[in-house]
Amino acid sequence: MSQSKIVAAVEIGTSKTVVLVGEIVNGRSLSVIGMGQSSSSGVKKGEILDFKAASNSTHAAIMGAEKSAGVNIDAVYLAQTGRHLEGFNNKGSVTVSAADGHVSGSDIERAQREGKSKELPQDRVYIHHIKNEVLLDGRKVDEPYHMKGERLDIGYWSIHGDERRVRDHIHVINGFGLPVEDMIVSSIASGSMVVGDEEKKAGALVLDIGCGATDWVLYQDGYIARTGVVAVGGDHLTNDLALGLRVNRRNADKLKLQCGKAILEKDDLTEKVWMVGDHMIGDRHIPKKAMVQIIEARLDELFRIVKKQIGPRCTAQNLPGGIILTGGTSQIEGICELAAKVFGAEARLGVNPRIVSEDLRGPEFSTVLGLLHYALTGQHAEEFNTGAHERGILRKVVKLIAG
Amino acid sequence: MDISLKTTDGEIGETGVGDGLRVKIIGVGGAGTNTVDRLQFGEQGQARLAAINTDAQALASSPIPEKLMIGRSVTRGLSTGGEAELGRKAAENDVSSILNMVSGMDLVFILVGLGGGTGSGAAPVVARQARDQGALVVAFATLPFSLEGGRRLEIAEAALGELRLVCDAVIPLPNDLLLQQAEENATVLDAFTQADDWIGRGVGSICAMLFQTGLINVDFATLKKAFCVQGGKTLFGLGRGEGGDFVEKALQDLALCPLLHTPEYARKADRLLVNIIGGTDLGIGHVNRVMAAVTERFGSKADTVLGAVIDDNLQSTVEICVIGTTDVGGGRYVRQPVKSYAAKPKPPESPQGRPIDKAQGGPAAPKLDLEETSAPDNRESDYEPLPELDSVRPHDGAQGRSTETRMPQVHQSKLKKTEANDGTDQEEFLFVSEEEQRGYFDKTDRNLFDGEDLDVPTYLRRGIRVTL
């Protein structure tokens, strides 16, 4: 008798809200059995501005997803983004207590507790503690349990957010009568989809450029070293184009999608595009050069901001895995060349796993797919088992099949 | 650029519009004073020029007739060194001289470059004095280049917010736009000339409407009505067309005017002031076309004030100037007559021997306006202070800024009805007004990184010139 649990991955995005329904069978395999989408309203730069509007569009998407799956959802995994998210490195350090110098489960627990114990200001709330570097007497180890040493350090990248905003997000889901099982920041969710283990080990940077915000995650030595959010996305490109080309938002958006380009090439200098394209009165020529200039300036700045947020660690040597771009805005032509230029490292577009059905391969689905991935593996896979049960034996098989 | 503010006698004089209307153009701070210098407005009209600065040396070199040095005790005749607080103190110390300068004026233009000390600090003080004296205050404020750094931008934005609270209309001109408009190899001076040109055409247009002969004249009361709500966003655009189908060209030029495409501006206006300056060949048909196009683009036909002026030098040329005010972002700072409790020195004497008593009859009572539009100068009608006006007047302190009153809403914004009606967080709404000027990203948190607002297009902040 198999036991199945129906979970939903919900991303309340700036342009659209996407809900994927997955069925977890026996806690081992997952199939995508339903999907719902709605265009968002009341969300800008990844943050909810109009609770009611955002609720309505999210609920519509959930309803659509339940209908397409034909089952009721048990729990929701929710993505979180927005510039209110911040993170810091913290370390839990303990002296190994056992007389024989072997690290015990209680040592690890103490170190973990200390690493996560930093108090936050009143209105902030922790979203994740992501374990990264584990040092035993200053030497990097993967699993310290039963190893010999004197001093154990466990490092954490702790992500925290504005309590009200986080709560707003959860309330939207609760308003539909569903519990939120877990909240995962978008960057980590996307990252888990588009980066392979090898690249994580080598060092890679994932940029999920969405409509309202850009989420990034930096992998080093196989773990998540840093994450961040820049509240700049495709909406900004549209806005810049609307202002710079003096066209309305709708036309600017259309121009961006049709002939947006991130890097200026020789042919673009003289080429002209039609504003509307219907050759009716009021239509006019727009030099492509102007368009590309505006987009290039914005994306160039965006990449530079990310580079600055990461700091001195952001060098080509640290990123042999390269820059991986995903998210809706990553579809702009030439964006990889621009990213490669700014970061001085190789850049490519992220690809969602092949096992996923065709219509979910688009870069804008990386985040929701990542959420489902975490629903299956448990976001706390980052945590150690402290000797209670063996790791690896219950390794869950990720099997994403579209329904 | 030479704008003559000639009063033509004849029909205007008879209706008493241009008559005795007193206009002053005041440059505040270094940049503002320079602009007034460079504009070389003619002195013939009622528009008088004045300059206010803390820097004695800069002031001495200016050819402007009326000069006021403020803050002698604060800065000892030197500049404020970029400290807006010093600028404010300087102005507050010399508030009586400022009062003298603005008293008895009907219309005061304040030209200021925000971001520095004197302009940012003193301009709101000057504006408040002028407004308290009953003048209609229109400010043209240039904002610093993004590359000048975050601090200047912060100062400028704070000052812009303050100005919005005390002026009838504030027209911000981001310097970043100058780079967009300037020729490929323009010098810095050319760029600033462009800014002056914009300001000049704006000021000139308003004055021309009042003073020059035209197809359609606008009287001062109508003008005042167009600016009856303070603190809102404004819209300011210029267009010019020559030869051939000059009206169509001017409309196209207007549509491409970079001033209309900044985050600082409103897209639609609740009240619109459209002025058309053309040659003798400007027919009413042309005017009609312009009006149709402009009102369709910017909104409300009902609340549009139209002026059409004939200038003999402009054959087969037309210039369109659009100034719009909105209730958006400003809430309802309805123009108030001078408070009776304010220590208001009687204006020395009015040249026409007419009592300039603005305590009554200002457009603060819009109800009156509606009834009395036939009376071209309702300052003359000697209204008793309206009892119902008194009852809604705030009973709080003598602070100039506390004049925000909840008037019975006459001009409700057609743009954001829901917000205007939303009484619950009205207070909050008022206080964040200065931050809500960023177009599409209105009402979102400021997106600051290294002192730059990321919601403002990058190409503008970096000064990348986009040619269309």
Residue with tokens 């040659």: B279
* Inside any domain, residue B105: yes
Q: Which H helix or E strand runs over A347? A: strand A347-349
A168 and chain B in contact, CB less than 8 A: no
* Inside any domain, residue B176: yes
Q: Return the closest-CA partner of residue A72 out of A27, A146, A21.
A: A21
Q: Which H helix or E strand runs over A145? A: none
Nearest by CB to residue B462, choosing from A230, A245, A297, is A297
Q: Tokens for A375?
A: 């629903």
Specify the amino acid at residue B298. Answer: F
* Inside any domain, residue B121: yes
Cα A339 to Cα A341: distance, rounded to the nearest angstrom:
5
Cα B309 to Cα B293: distance, rounded to the nearest angstrom:
18
CA distance to A245, B82, B123, per residue, from B85 (Å): 39, 9, 12
* CATH code (residue B165): 3.40.50.1440
What domains appear along chain A, each with residue ranges and CATH number?
A: 86-162 (3.30.1490.110)
* Inside any domain, residue B431: no
CB contact under 8 A, B458 and A240: yes
Angle between helices A366-377 and A186-194 (to 10 degrees): 90
Specify the amino acid at residue B26. Answer: I
- For residues B132-143, one letter each, b for 16 or more C-beta atoms within 10 angstroms of the residue's C-beta and e for the rest, the string is bbbbbbbbbbbb
Give me the residues of chain A with pLDDT under 70, please.
1-2, 279-282, 378-403
Count CB atoms within 10 A of the CB of residue A274. Answer: 15
Nearest by CB to residue B449, choosing from A47, A249, A305, is A305
* HEC letters along chain B: CCCCCCCCCCHHHHHCCCCCCCEEEEEEHHHHHHHHHHHCCCCCCCEEEEEEECCHHHHHCCCCCEEEECCHHHHCCCCCCCCHHHHHHHHHHCHHHHHHHHCCCCEEEEEEEECEHHHHHHHHHHHHHHHHCCCEEEEEEEECCHHHCHHHHHHHHHHHHHHHHHCCEEEEEECHHHHHHCCCCCCHHHHHHHHHHHHHHHHHHHHHHHHCCEEECCCHHHHHHHCCEECCCEEEEEEEEECCCHHHHHHHHHHCCHHHHCCCCCCCCCEEEEEEEECCCCCHHHHHHHHHHHHHHHCCCCCEEEEEEECCCCCCEEEEEEEEECCCCCCCEECCCCCCCCCCCCCCCCCCCCCCCCCCCCCCCHHHHHHHCCCCCCCCCCCCCCHHHHHHCCCCCCCHHHHCECCCCCCCCCCCHHHHHCCCCHHHHHHCHHHCCCHHHCCCCCCEECCEECCCCHHHHHCCCCCC
* Inside any domain, residue B356: no
Q: Return the closest-CA partner of residue B75 out of B62, B59, B89.
A: B89
Provide the ipTM.
0.81
List of chain B residues whose C-beta atoms are within 8 Å of the C-beta of residue A246: 255-256, 258, 260-261, 468
Measured at the CA of B326, the angle between CA B324 and CA B329, to 5 degrees, comes to 140
CA distance to A38, B269, B383, per residue, from A53 (Å): 12, 26, 49
Give me the residues of chain B with pLDDT under 70, please.
1-19, 40-46, 181-184, 213-215, 229-232, 262-268, 300-302, 327-439, 442-443
Q: Return the closest-CA partner of residue A166 out of A213, A210, A127.
A: A127
What does R_g of chain B's alpha carbons equal in angstroms?
21
List of chain A residues whose C-beta atoms are within 8 Å of the C-beta of residue B439: 239, 243
Cα B453 to Cα A236: distance, rounded to the nearest angstrom:
12
Give how many domains chain B has, as a whole number: 1
pLDDT value, residue A173: 92
Asked whether B41 and B246 are in contact (CB, 8 A), the reply is no
DSSP 8-state assignment for residue A317: G
Q: Which H helix or E strand runs over A131? A: strand A124-136
Size of interface A-B (CB pairs under 8 A): 84
Q: Tokens for A212?
A: 């309202």
Query: What is the DSSP pairing of strand A204-209 with strand A322-326?
Result: parallel
Cα B50 to Cα B64: distance, rounded to the nearest angstrom:
6
Over residues B329-373, the pLDDT tens digits come to 544 445 444 433 334 344 444 444 444 444 443 343 333 333 333
CB contact under 8 A, A287 and B468: yes
Specify the amino acid at residue B394. Answer: P
A398 and chain B in contact, CB less than 8 A: no
B302 and chain A in contact, CB less than 8 A: no
List of chain A residues whose C-beta atoms are within 8 Å of the C-beta of residue B444: 44-45, 47, 49
* Inside any domain, residue B83: yes
Q: Return the closest-CA partner of residue B118 out of B40, B232, B26, B25.
A: B26
Cα A153 to Cα A172: distance, rounded to the nearest angstrom:
39
* Inside any domain, residue B365: no
* Inside any domain, residue B32: yes
**Those residues with Cβ within 8 angstroms of residue B189's Cβ, 6 or more apart along the chain or in another chain:** none
List of chain B residues whose C-beta atoms are within 8 Å of the C-beta of residue A297: 457-459, 462, 464
Q: Which H helix or E strand runs over A392? A: none
List of chain A residues whose C-beta atoms are within 8 Å of the C-beta of residue B454: 230-232, 236, 301, 305
Q: Return the closest-CA partner of residue B447 out of B267, B266, B265, B263.
A: B263
Residues of the domain holding B177: 1-212
A298 and chain B in contact, CB less than 8 A: yes
Q: Tokens for A30?
A: 């997952």
3-state secondary structure of A209: strand
Tell me how close the Cα of A231 comes to any Cα of chain B, in angstroms. 7
Specify the amino acid at residue A20. Answer: L
CA nearest A283 in B: which residue?
B252
CA nearest A275 in B: which residue?
B468
CB contact under 8 A, B458 and A47: no
